[in-house]
Structure formats: structure tokens, C-alpha cells
């Protein structure tokens, strides 16, 4: 069986479900039921996949169910359902004593992640037989990086547990603390990215492309670049974030005009559009 990206989604979903169970058991949290429900539903979304389509037999039904889950998440967040609880943390004196005892060794678990990631990428790229055995034939550059990073994270986690003499449950408590601290904003990148895809699927990018080609002098490179940059800034302000605006403007102006018509470099184009998007935020 080859390694698939779906396994990483399942791992994330499992972690979120554990966080949800811990939240439900935390009696110090005044909104423990809704907090646990929020993270539990979010984790459920990660656990869904192709196997769900095969089980239900209808993609549309599954997609509608996921949409309903997203609406429930929005309602929980809107009514303040995600709150902080108790996380079984050490006292400040214990933290200070532990930091003095470990010294610079504290950085070893964090450094293990990039080191193992680089080693894994180099190994799989230079040993094609290993790559085919684990990932199957084809180009798996992104999957190799994600796999190596996951292994590095697990190694770093094991090192941290061994060095600090904490229980295995404490990292999950820290994960819950971080998730509760960030709150509902943790899911914003995914929601905004989906919003951009919805606008693109609805043909907004095509409409922008048609309007641009018929009413603006995009034969001029300067004007084409200006339209792309200014359009990105304006749409970022309208939609609230560059995650949603980028695919729309890129589909409408970036690819058909800058890349295909003027032969622009997509890498440079991506960097160019980051500046107006950041300024608009």
C-alpha cells in the first residue's frame, strides 16, 4: 500500500477529535460542550474523503453534509461557543527550573523537524526505488515533503516527551490550548480558500477576463500589470482576504493575459501580486 496524502488528513482529524473529547471533559470551560462540538465537527471534515463517497454512493449528498457542518461551525463561532479552559500546565517556577535543566537542548525537538524534512527529501529524490516503493510511480514532490515533515514532527514530539518527562497526553493538552487560543480563526484559511474556488467555479474569473479584454488596453504590459495588481488589492478588500481573491484575479487576468498573452513568469507574477494584497489587508 502506497502512502497517500489522505493519511495526513486522517491524522489531523484524529488529533482534532482527541482535542474535542478533552474539551468535553474540561469542566472549567463554561462552553465546553460547544467548544468540543466545534473541534469535533472540524475533525470530522478531515476524516471524510473518497471512502465516504463510496460508502454513501452520492458525492452531492456528502458535499451538502460538509456544507451543513461548515454552517454549524460558523454558528458556533458566531455565538461565542469556543472558549478557553484548563490545560494542566506547569507552574512558572516549574517551567523556569525545567528550562534551566535542559538549557539549549530545548531547541533540539524543534530543529529535528527541518533537519529530518531535508534528509527525507534528499533521500527520496536520490533513491528513486525508495520513492516508487513508498509513493508509487510518478512525480510526488509535494507528498515527499509532507511525508518527511510529518516524520520529522513525530520524531521531534518523541524527543520533547523524553526530554521533559511529560506524559503522552500533555502534547495533546498543549495542542488544545493553542487551538482554543486561536479559536474560530484557525479555520479561516480553509474557508477563504474555498470561497475563492467557489467564485472561480461560478465564472467570476471568466467575467473579469472578458471585461478586462474588452474595456481595458491590456495589450500594453504596464496596463495589464497595473490591472492585475490593483484588481487584486480591490478584490482583497471586497472579499476580506487574499486567500479568496487570488484565484479569482489570477484566473481572470493573471493566467490569460499576463502569462498566455504577454509570456509572464508565474513565479514573478505571484510575488508581484503579494504586495497589493498585503497592503489591502
**Residue 145 sits in the same domain as residue 212:** no
**Residue 225 sits in the same domain as residue 256:** yes
85 belongs to a structural domain: no
DSSP three-state, residue 34: helix
Cα distance between residue 166 and residue 170, in whole Å: 6
pLDDT confidence of residue 41 = 92
187 belongs to a structural domain: no
**Residue 102 sits in the same domain as residue 162:** yes
Cα distance between residue 164 and residue 160, in whole Å: 6
pLDDT confidence of residue 119 = 93
What mean pLDDT is predicted for residues 236-265? 76
Q: What are the CB-based long-range contacts (under 8 Å, 24+) for 112-119?
A: 112/152, 112/155, 112/156, 112/159, 113/149, 113/152, 113/153, 113/155, 113/156, 114/152, 115/152, 116/148, 116/149, 116/151, 116/152, 116/155, 116/156, 117/145, 117/148, 117/149, 117/152, 118/148, 119/148
**Residue 35 sits in the same domain as residue 103:** no
What DSSP string runs through 98-125?
HHHHHGGGGHHHHHHHHHHHHHHHHHHH
**Residue 211 sits in the same domain as residue 252:** yes
Say whether pLDDT at 281 is over 60: no
pTM of the model: 0.74
**Residue 73 sits in the same domain as residue 96:** no
**Residue 72 sits in the same domain as residue 107:** no
**Residue 50 sits in the same domain as residue 110:** no
Q: Which range (12-21, 98-107, 116-125) has the least confidence? A: 98-107
117 belongs to a structural domain: yes
Give the residue carrying C-alpha cell 479568496: 244
Instruction: Count how many domains the chain has.
Output: 3
Say whether pLDDT at 152 is over 70: yes
195 belongs to a structural domain: no
What mean pLDDT is predicted for residues 167-178? 86
Highest mean pLDDT among 176-190, 238-252, 264-278: 176-190
Cα distance between residue 32 and residue 39, in whole Å: 11
Domain that holds residue 153: 92-166
Q: What percentage of the chain carries pLDDT values higher than 90?
A: 15
pLDDT confidence of residue 207 = 76
pLDDT confidence of residue 244 = 66
12/242: higher pLDDT: 12
248 belongs to a structural domain: yes
Closest CA to 35 of 142, 186, 231, 150: 186
Residues 195 and 240 sit within 8 Å (Cβ to Cβ): no
pLDDT confidence of residue 243 = 63
140 belongs to a structural domain: yes
Cα distance between residue 191 and residue 91, in whole Å: 37
What mean pLDDT is predicted for residues 84-94? 73
186 belongs to a structural domain: no
265 belongs to a structural domain: yes
pLDDT digits (tens, 9 = 90+) for 7-66: 888 999 999 999 999 889 888 888 889 999 999 999 998 888 777 877 887 788 888 888
pLDDT confidence of residue 241 = 65
pLDDT confidence of residue 1 = 67
Confidence band for 114, pLDDT divided at 50, 70 and 90: very high
Residues 59 and 53 sit within 8 Å (Cβ to Cβ): yes
| 2 φ/ψ angles, rounded to the nearest 5 degrees | -80, 150
Nine cell digits for residue 104 = 539549549
Amino acid at each position: 500500500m502506497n502512502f497517500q496524502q489522505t493519511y495526513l488528513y486522517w491524522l489531523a482529524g484524529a488529533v482534532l477529535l482527541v482535542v474535542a473529547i478533552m474539551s468535553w471533559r474540561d469542566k472549567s470551560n463554561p462552553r465546553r460542550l460547544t467548544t468540543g462540538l466545534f473541534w469535533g465537527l472540524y475533525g470530522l471534515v478531515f476524516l471524510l474523503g473518497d471512502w465516504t463517497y463510496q460508502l454513501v454512493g452520492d458525492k452531492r449528498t456528502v458535499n451538502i453534509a460538509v456544507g451543513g457542518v461548515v454552517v454549524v461551525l460558523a454558528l458556533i463561532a458566531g455565538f461565542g461557543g469556543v472558549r478557553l479552559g484548563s490545560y494542566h500546565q506547569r507552574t512558572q517556577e516549574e517551567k523556569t527550573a525545567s528550562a534551566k535543566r535542559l538549557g539549549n537542548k530545548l531547541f533540539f525537538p524543534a530543529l529535528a523537524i527541518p533537519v529530518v524534512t531535508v534528509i527525507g527529501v534528499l533521500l527520496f529524490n536520490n533513491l528513486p526505488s525508495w520513492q516508487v516503493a513508498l509513493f508509487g510511480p510518478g512525480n510526488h514532490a509535494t507528498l515527499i515533503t509532507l511525508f518527511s515533515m510529518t516524520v520529522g514532527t513525530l520524531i521531534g514530539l518523541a524527543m520533547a516527551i523524553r526530554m521533559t518527562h511529560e506524559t503522552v497526553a500533555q502534547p495533546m493538552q498543549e495542542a488544545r490550548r493553542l487551538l482554543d487560543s486561536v479559536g474560530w480563526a484557525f479555520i479561516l484559511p480553509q474557508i477563504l480558500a474555498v470561497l475563492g474556488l467557489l467564485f472561480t467555479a461560478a465564472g467570476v474569473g471568466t467575467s473579469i477576463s472578458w471585461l478586462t479584454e474588452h474595456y481595458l488596453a491590456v495589450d500594453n504590459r504596464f496596463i495589464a500589470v497595473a490591472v492585475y495588481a490593483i484588481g487584486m488589492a480591490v478584490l482583497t478588500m471586497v472579499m476580506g482576504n487574499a486567500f479568496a481573491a487570488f484565484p479569482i484575479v489570477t484566473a481572470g487576468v493573471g493566467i490569460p493575459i499576463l502569462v498566455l498573452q504577454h509570456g509572464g513568469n508565474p513565479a514573478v507574477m505571484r510575488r508581484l501580486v503579494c504586495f497589493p494584497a498585503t497592503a489591502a489587508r
